Amino acid sequence: MKNYNLKLTFLCFLALVMTFFLEAQSSVTIYGLKGPSGVGMIRLFEQPPQHSGVTVNVEALAQADLMAARFIAGDAKVGILPPNVAAKIASTGKRIQVAAVVGTGMLSLLTSDPSIRRIEDLKGKTVEVAGQGATPDYVFRRILISKKMNPDRDVRLNFSLAYPEIAQSLIAGRVSTALIPEPFATMARSGKPDLRQISDIQQEWVNAGGSGNYPMIALVVDADFAASQPALLRTILNSVKNSIEWVVAHPAEAGTLVEKHNLGLRAAVASAAIPRSNYIFIPALEARSGLEALYKAFLEFSPASIGGKLPGENFYLKW
């Protein structure tokens, strides 16, 4: 009788745990970001992934630091982050993994200065750079060094303006030269057609020792969620991949959805920028060499920004 009671108690406990687990996994949210980083996922807002017994929601957060806070707190299971932010979170011991790179380099070096024809002509000039301490900053520094230039002495790098303000300042002539990502480069060139692109920043990165185009957007997952819900995660990842492929193939329709779902961009701007924005889906294991090349640039200029070392093997999701 005693053994029977113990067995019954165990079964009741197991049933309670299973009920809690099933309830906890009855819904999951895919987090995107407002602005250009979230554009590749826009079709999911219209057609969320379908998975038996689970409601999949899609939500766009306003800023990457809000996304980071949700992963740190354990509230986010799937979302997008700048690659360096993902590495920094993982360095604290938080169990997160990169599932894929979903956006690669999309920077343009634009100028209205007639004396600037190549990167070497930037010596003694001021360049407005989008994002101090972020990927554009360190990618550009690596490129300048490859051209035998000291980014702290030979060129004045200015970080005082946000992306939209850089575009408006280029149009108004308040800034003559800037390194700026899509879709803001498209906005600037549309408003001031005489702006010229100096070199190809993505190719210059490769020439400076980078491994292919550098990653700009990472799709990140909670490692415990990935281990416990592999089928659900695969459904989500395939849906993200399909959304990106659809966006690239249908920029006009995607732009309309971007404006409809309030991602912070007008339809015309998003549609025009999509062909230049390098939305892509590269599974983590294939993306590792590109990520590590970027992380080495962060280690060169600001080791603490990714936790002081390259992420380990478990940082890259195998699926």
Q: What is the pLDDT of residue 15?
A: 42
Is the pLDDT at 257 greater than 50? The verdict is: yes
Is the pLDDT at 137 greater than 50? The verdict is: yes
Same fold for the pair 2-104+215-304 and 107-207? yes
Q: To the nearest whole number, what is the mean pLDDT of the chain?
A: 91
Is the pLDDT at 50 greater than 50? The verdict is: yes
Q: How far apart are CA 173 and CA 191, in angstroms?
A: 11
Question: Tens digits of per-residue pLDDT, 276-285?
Answer: 999 999 999 9
Question: Tens digits of per-residue pLDDT, 70-88?
Answer: 999 999 999 999 999 999 9
- Span 244-258, mean pLDDT? 98
- Span 158-170, mean pLDDT? 94
Q: Are strands 279-283 and 96-104 parallel, antiparallel or unpaired?
A: antiparallel
DSSP 98-167: EEEEEEE--EEEEE--TT-SSGGGGTT-EEEES-TTSHHHHHHHHHHHHTT--TTTTSEEE--S-HHHHH
Q: What is the pLDDT of residue 55?
A: 94
Cα distances from 110 to residues 116, 128, 147, 198, 249, in angstroms, run 10, 10, 18, 6, 27
Domain ranges of the chain: 2-104+215-304, 107-207
Half-sphere exposure of 274 (CA within 13 A, CB side): 26
Is the pLDDT at 9 greater than 60? The verdict is: no
Is the pLDDT at 24 greater than 60? The verdict is: no
pTM of the model: 0.87
User: Percentage helix, strand, coil, to 5, in the chain?
Assistant: 50, 20, 30
Q: How far apart are CA 229 and CA 222, in angstroms?
A: 11
pLDDT grade for 131, boundaries at 50, 70 and 90: confident
Question: Tens digits of per-residue pLDDT, 285-317?
Answer: 999 999 999 999 999 999 999 999 999 999 999
- According to CATH, the superfamily of the domain at 107-207 is Periplasmic binding protein-like II (3.40.190.10)
Q: What is the pLDDT of residue 26?
A: 87
- Span 29-49, mean pLDDT? 95
Q: What is the pLDDT of residue 241?
A: 98
Is the pLDDT at 6 greater than 90? The verdict is: no
Question: Could you check whether the bond before residue 183 is cis, i.e. omega within 30 degrees of 0?
Answer: yes
Is the pLDDT at 180 greater than 90? The verdict is: yes
For the domain made up of 2-104+215-304, give the CATH fold. D-Maltodextrin-Binding Protein; domain 2 (3.40.190)
Is the pLDDT at 19 greater than 90? The verdict is: no
Is the pLDDT at 200 greater than 80? The verdict is: yes
Q: What is the pLDDT of residue 25?
A: 55
pLDDT grade for 10, boundaries at 50, 70 and 90: very low
Phi first, then psi, for residue 19 (nearest 5°) are -65, -45
